[in-house]
Structure 1
Amino acid sequence: MTTTQARALRVGFVPEHFSTPIHFAKKHYGLDAELIPFPSGTGHMITALRGGEIDVGIGLTEGWVAALGRSQVSREDGGFRLVGTYVESPLCWAVSTGADRAEIKTVDSLQGTKIGVSRIGSGSYVMGYVLADQRGWLIPSAGAGTSLEQASPFSDFVVLDTFERLRQAVNAGDADFFMWEHFTSKRYYDKGEIRRLGEIHTPWSSWKIVAATDLVHDNAKDSRVDDLLDKLNLGIKHFNEHKEEAVQYISTELDYSAEDAREWLKTVRFPERTQGVDEQVISNCVDVLCKAGLLPVGKGVNAAQMIAKQR
């Protein structure tokens, strides 16, 4: 075994309530991995994977698929492949604006405004287009493959990196709205820091696991990835069987109340086995992203080729 193979995997994750089974896998089942938090989300993990800073990422389906699809269009290796399913349930994205932005009254008033995103290519960026598609804000492009930036539903994408800076921006007027997960946002609604305009659910299961291409290539399959998925299965089983321990962790170590943690537990569904990804789920995601104009139609986007481990 080489030195590279011997070291612990560097696993990127978002330090929110969804990360609780990862914590349990580490605490109770000896997960041998260096857990690296990415509070700015999936877009940052994509950069880190491509830069060789992490080996595995646990993030949002739409972020991974959009990045891999764009790489396929450019005929480049995306730097990672889908290897597992982390959350089966869809994600509820809350649409938020500043507490005193009285001029912004409804979601429908957001067309042509400034959207705050964590990073270009992040889930908050991708879902902006999905929202625009659902609301009928997309101007038909002149031809297949036309860049969506030529017909953007928003006046600007304001890159703000973190949830904290997103909240600050909508209150300062630097951005008009942003989208972030409902329960993560709720505490700041309750405090009156930001105001809720509405919500949108992902039309797909919300979290997937990816691994750097060199770990899952046919000629270089790495047993550490399989071990990681096995340990995550145990962490999920523990989570499902010890809900009060989950509430205690979420409400003391993360930024949630116990009441909100219990409400979230009613909505989330983790898989019994994280191994593998359903190709149809990824195909559906590709279809929606193409319809929203985020990926071009007929330019080589292939869902099956994004997946290293199929269910």
Structure 2
Amino acid sequence: MALRVGYVPEHFSTPIFFAQKHFGLDITAVPFPSGTGHMIIALRAGEIDVGIGLTEGWVAGLGKEQANDGGYKIVGTYVETPLCWAISTGSSRPEIPGVDSLRGGKIGVSRIGSGSFVMGFVLADQRGWLSTSASPDEKPYKDTVVLNTFANLRNAVNDGTADFFMWEHFTSKKYYDNGEIKRVGEIYTPWSSWKIVASTAALARTADLDDLFAKLDQGIAYFNDHHEEAVAYISTALDYSEEDARAWLATVRFPEHTRGVSEATIDKCIGILQKAGVLVDGQGATTAEMLN
């Protein structure tokens, strides 16, 4: 049985497509447009074997787990560069001119534990909304609104259900260009942005995982050498403009070898998430326990 691999069907998935098309990567690719938090649920439910998603989502999921092994381990690195999260509100929200006006507002997230959720706390920490609160119990946001999909998030900031949300820059840009939403700022992850995880049950499938890593490495090498083919794919199958596809290519770096994870990267992620109040020191999995 082929590995069931969860992924986000955005421009970052292009090397996976190339690995399938050109190098015979034999997987059942399962799209998760709602992101990493949904993949965590699917991994724990035994619905997928591998997930390719955001570092902060995987780390937060394991760092909050108290009862067992968390259902998955971090086994590889998919993207080495940070992720640029665009901060968006509704197109007709004059009361929200910039990031400073978001404090005490309603943050829209795809799921609790997702990257969009975690980065809300990283933003609050960077802006001093956690450390300078008058009361230690004061929260940086009035409410956290779970909306599941990118489309729901865009609708919510326009109808007032939420005041803002964060999503990857180039995926958001199309909706700035057409006037559906308004950009008020951005924030970069303080770590490399994408990791590969495997369910604890799938860790025993060493031959399948070896093949996955080898074929992903080939797909990435092909991607690096065939940017025009990448632009053509991204601007047709994935619904980005050619201009945005080319701009993204200038910002992203995939690893030469996907197998393995830097412990220092996970340590840094845990430390910042603890400082931001997402994780609690001494609770949940340690770095060593998160890695295979």
Q: Which residue of 2 aligns with 1:210?
A: 197
Residue 29 (structure 2) pairs with residue 45 (structure 1): no
Residue 53 (structure 2) pairs with residue 69 (structure 1): no
- For each residue in 1:164-184, what CA deviation from the matched residue of structure 2 results, as whole angstroms up to 9, or x when unmatched? 110010001100000000000
SS in 2 for 1:49: helix
Q: Could you tell me which of 3, 9, 25 is aligned with 1:31?
A: 25
- For each residue in 1:29-75, what CA deviation from the matched residue of structure 2 results, as whole angstroms up to 9, or x when unmatched? 1001000000000000000000000000000000000000111xx14
Q: Could you tell me which of 156, 162, 166 is aligned with 2:149?
A: 162
Q: Distance in 2 between matches of 1:60 and 1:281?
A: 13
How far the C-alpha of 1:138 sits from its partner, in A, is: 1.0
Q: Which residue of 2 aligns with 1:119?
A: 111
Q: Distance in 2 between matches of 1:96 and 1:279?
A: 32
Runs of 4+ in structure 1 off by over 4 angstroms are none
How far the C-alpha of 1:299 sits from its partner, in A, is: 2.8
Instruction: Judge conservation of contact 2:89–2:163 (CA < 8 Å) in 1.
Output: yes
Instruction: Judge conservation of contact 2:125–2:131 (CA < 8 Å) in 1.
Output: no
Structure 2: any 5+ residue segments left out of the alignment? none
- For each residue in 1:79-106, what CA deviation from the matched residue of structure 2 results, as whole angstroms up to 9, or x when unmatched? 0000100000000000000000011111
Q: CA RMSD in A?
A: 1.3
- For each residue in 1:114-173, what CA deviation from the matched residue of structure 2 results, as whole angstroms up to 9, or x when unmatched? 0000000000000000000000111579xxxxxx9x542111111111111100100011
Q: Could you tell me which of 79, 86, 89 is aligned with 1:87?
A: 79
Q: Could you tell me which of 241, 246, 250 is aligned with 1:262?
A: 246
SS in 2 for 1:252: coil
Instruction: Judge conservation of contact 2:103–2:129 (CA < 8 Å) in 1.
Output: yes
Q: Could you tell me which of 273, 276, 286 is aligned with 2:260?
A: 276
Calculate the TM-score normalised by the size of structure 1. Answer: 0.91
Residue 124 (structure 2) pairs with residue 132 (structure 1): yes
Instruction: Judge conservation of contact 1:170–1:176 (CA < 8 Å) in 2.
Output: yes
Q: Distance in 2 between matches of 1:20 and 1:300?
A: 33
How far the C-alpha of 1:226 sits from its partner, in A, is: 1.3
How far the C-alpha of 1:221 sits from its partner, in A, is: 4.9
- Following superposition of structure 1 onto structure 2, how do residues 281-292 of structure 1 map, counting pairs within 5 Å? 281-292=265-276
Q: Distance in 1 between matches of 2:6 and 2:279?
A: 25
Percent identity reads: 68
Q: Which residue of 2 aligns with 1:11?
A: 5
How far the C-alpha of 1:203 sits from its partner, in A, is: 0.3
Calculate the TM-score normalised by the size of structure 2. Answer: 0.97
Q: Distance in 2 between matches of 1:303 and 1:152?
A: 27
One-letter amino acid of the counterpart of residue 185, structure 2: G
Q: Distance in 2 between matches of 1:87 and 1:104?
A: 33
Q: Distance in 2 between matches of 1:57 and 1:287?
A: 23
Q: Which residue of 1 aligns with 2:210?
A: 226
One-letter amino acid of the counterpart of residue 201, structure 1: Y
Q: Distance in 1 between matches of 2:158 and 2:242?
A: 27
How far the C-alpha of 1:298 sits from its partner, in A, is: 2.6
How far the C-alpha of 1:223 sits from its partner, in A, is: 1.4
SS in 1 for 2:145: strand
Q: Distance in 2 between matches of 1:88 and 1:204?
A: 8
How far the C-alpha of 1:77 sits from its partner, in A, is: 1.5
Instruction: Judge conservation of contact 1:124–1:178 (CA < 8 Å) in 2.
Output: yes
Q: Could you tell me which of 155, 172, 175 is aligned with 1:185?
A: 172
- For each residue in 1:257-297, what CA deviation from the matched residue of structure 2 results, as whole angstroms up to 9, or x when unmatched? 00000000000000000010011100000000001011001
SS in 2 for 1:199: strand
